């Protein structure tokens, strides 16, 4: 790694940690500089603004979400439905192992209304996700797990539905609604999108899973600091 690249990664890592600790709005560029003993010129050589820095963090998260998908795609023991569910259940945002990033994004991109960040994550994911989706659909058509006469268009539509689902789940989590109402909303979204994708692919009922309801509920409870999930009925 070149020295300039290493410095860039150090800035990203330091800023990400400070964003998690103090929040995006409460972390100034100067705070990042002080933490690293870095000059303003050293910062602006790599990033034109604090928002540009956060955008790059978002892009890295989106790209990382698909890194393990390569192994899934080459696993000959997996059918097309398994691979589809692995792809659709992958998101740089809804990651239970990085709730700090989710909290940051809910604050800046959803409560704060920064559509730019949401779009950057989608753009960073689209090409690779679509490549995987087209390969999965081809396998599914061969296996007769799916049926469609418009493979490429349907593939892109399903990817967009996946992005929209992530947006809607995040928006629900960012709301001030009661926990049970938010969870009910998310479960309804999962059912609606799951049914829509199965219909588009003429896939068997219940074959598409997207995110499991339990996965989302556990993440939401962790996000809100709820030690015990609220009383609700899970219907998956």
CA distances from 112 to 49, 80, 107, 208 (A): 17, 38, 6, 32
Q: What is the mean pLDDT of residues 9-15?
A: 96
Q: Which of 7, 61, 13, 65 is CA-nearest to residue 39?
A: 7
Q: What is the pLDDT of residue 235?
A: 46
Q: What is the mean pLDDT of residues 153-159?
A: 96
Mean pLDDT of the chain: 90
For tokens 């709005």, name the residue: 25
Whether pLDDT at 210 is above 70? yes
How far, in Å, CA of 199 to CA of 1, rounded? Answer: 47
Three-state SS string over 107-143 comes to HHHHHCCCHHHHHHHHHHHHHHHHHHHHHHHHHHHHH
Q: What is the pLDDT of residue 230?
A: 55
Q: What is the mean pLDDT of residues 24-52?
A: 94
């Amino acid at each position: 790694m070149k020295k300039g690249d290493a410095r860039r990664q150090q800035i990203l890592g330091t800023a990400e940690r400070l964003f998690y600790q103090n929040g995006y709005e409460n972390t100034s560029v100067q705070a990042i500089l002080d933490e690293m003993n870095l000059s303003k010129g050293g910062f602006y050589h790599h990033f034109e603004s604090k928002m540009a820095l956060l955008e790059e963090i978002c892009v890295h998260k989106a790209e990382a979400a698909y890194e393990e998908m390569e192994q899934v795609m080459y696993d000959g023991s997996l059918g097309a439905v398994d691979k589809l569910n692995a792809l659709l259940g992958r998101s740089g945002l809804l990651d239970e192992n990085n709730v700090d990033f989710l909290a940051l994004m809910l604050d800046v991109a959803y409560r704060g209304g920064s559509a730019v960040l949401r779009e950057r994550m989608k753009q960073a994911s689209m090409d690779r996700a679509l490549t995987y989706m087209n390969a999965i659909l081809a396998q599914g058509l061969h296996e007769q797990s799916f049926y469609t006469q418009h493979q490429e268009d349907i593939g892109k539509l399903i990817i967009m539905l996946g992005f929209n689902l992530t947006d809607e789940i995040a928006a629900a989590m960012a709301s001030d609604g009661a926990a049970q109402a938010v969870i009910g909303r998310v479960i309804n979204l999962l059912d609606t999108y799951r049914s829509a994708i199965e219909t588009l692919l003429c896939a068997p009922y219940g074959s598409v899973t997207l995110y499991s309801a339990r996965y989302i509920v556990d993440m939401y409870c962790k996000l809100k600091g709820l030690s015990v999930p609220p009383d609700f009925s899970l219907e998956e």
